[in-house]
Structure 1
């Protein structure tokens, strides 16, 4: 290879890597800043506005950001769930309340599945207090949190890693789940519409369905904002869960419709079913 050929090869390699590196920098910038403008990105990286549009389209398809008029944002919307950092920060106090209510359902010695939701992460932080437990999860944040924790036998569900969700998803994850059977599952969902749970990701739906099939008892944890959001892919009806835990800001009309539909539910922070009528027995 001549010197000129070597230089050309380096230039081509750099050209191939440039879009990937630029998108990674844009992704980090959006997460840190919360919002970035297309014109400023084009000027910063010395590329055309159309190139930035393509970058943002690619990052949006991977679940990293939400493309809006004039730029991109990391803030969730009715259709976009937000990246892990923003999901963790959103409704943090309510997620803690939901988690504390859910913890009362856990008994030492049980096998507990927890999905990749940040509400599930809030619960995972409390689980060592109910040890000994076997905890099963595809959420890397939970795996890191509980790894080496005394009294916790941890089973990490592998598969294809999706950075936008900080979780393992896909066919291999589903296969790993099907080889197991847990006493109880705690999970959340992106949106609830007309009594059904929805998500924006087909991969997420497939894994959550596998988790539901592999659990004896299924508990859904959702804050009131889930009822105002929308999703593309249907996961399951609320009636597929043994208990739905909601927060006190949930619209009374929604609670009434759940009761009419026979959805067993509990309002976090309130007495359990028999005491305040917050839970409707399945089929009542």
Structure 2
């Protein structure tokens, strides 16, 4: 296994379990403990982890964006369930926008059977996933590439979005809070999601249950009447009351 592959696997384990031990990783990958320590040092320099005695913990700072390849592996089963439910809310002939989240990539994989669908996205991965599907017209926002998220951001992307009016926008986010609303880890991503929201008649927010009661770095937007939240587990009573007051529909797998 290449060092970069091992690092990515370690990061995926951290994303799921929050902490790792050097001794356990050494045995798992059949390398020396010193090799694992070097891996963890590199991940710490990149801002993803914090080293501890005998191991490391995930850096949970609100402005940290894990690579797309790692996020794809996190809560994968839950995201697949959510993706299928979201695809059931998209109809033949719809015009939609998809953001650059790992959940949107899974949703894109569930849209290929639709006809006369138009998808506008800032996700390079979604563009590639939907390329060549005869029933789908795919439009790229253009813009500046963010390597970690494989997303297109910046003023050019925002200007492109302003030209369109669509039926639905499908977004995900880093966290939702009753006090702070929908939050993101990066300002550039937040601007794109906000622009997408303004272009659509309806927002579908696709989030797994881990996103509830988590506040990330930037407040992106608030919920509005007519929004739909698609998630994997029924939210608790305070959230159900909040959504009822806001006029937000909740769809649970």
Question: Which position in structure 1 is the counterpart of 2:165?
Answer: 181
Q: Which residue of 1 aligns with 2:237?
A: 252
Deviations 1:140-174 (A, max 9, x none): 11111011112111111211101111111111111
Aligned residues: 231
Q: Give me the whole-angstrom Cα distance separating, in 2, the residues matched to 1:240 and 1:204.
A: 23
| Aligned-pair Cα RMSD in Å | 3.0
Task: Give the direction of change, closer, same or farther, for the CA distance of 1:205–1:43 in structure 2 (3 Å limit).
Answer: closer
**Aligned counterpart, 1:92:** 76
Contact 1:183 1:216 in 2 (8 A): yes
User: How far did residue 185 of structure 1 move?
Assistant: 0.6
d(CA) in 2 for partners of 1:76, 1:174 = 30
Cα distance in 2 for partners of 1:254, 1:119 equals 22
Work out whether 1:30 is the aligned partner of 2:15.
no
Larger radius of gyration: 1
Q: Which residue of 1 aligns with 2:220?
A: 235
- The answer on whether the counterparts of 1:81 and 1:87 sit within 8 Å (CA) in structure 2 is no
Residue 116, structure 1, aligned to residue 100, structure 2: yes
TM-score in terms of structure 2 length = 0.79
Q: Which has the larger helix fraction?
A: 1
Secondary structure of the corresponding residue to residue 203 of structure 2: strand
SS class of match (1:175)? helix
Matches within 5 A, 1:1-284: 29-34=6-11, 40=34, 56-57=44-45, 59-60=46-47, 65-69=48-52, 77=60, 79=62, 80-195=64-179, 196-239=181-224, 242-259=227-244, 261-269=245-253
- Tell me which stretches of 4 or more aligned residues in structure 1 moved more than 6 Å: 70-73
Tell me which of the two structures has the higher relative contact order, counting C-alpha pairs closer than 8 angstroms and 6 or more residues apart: 2
Assess, with a 3 A threshold, how the Cα gap between structure 1 residues 167 and 93 changes in structure 2: closer, same or farther.
same
**Alignment CA distance shift 1:194-1:153 (3 Å):** same
On the 8 A contact 1:248/1:267 being kept in 2, the answer is no
The secondary structure found in structure 2 opposite 1:127 is coil
Shift of 1:224: 1.1
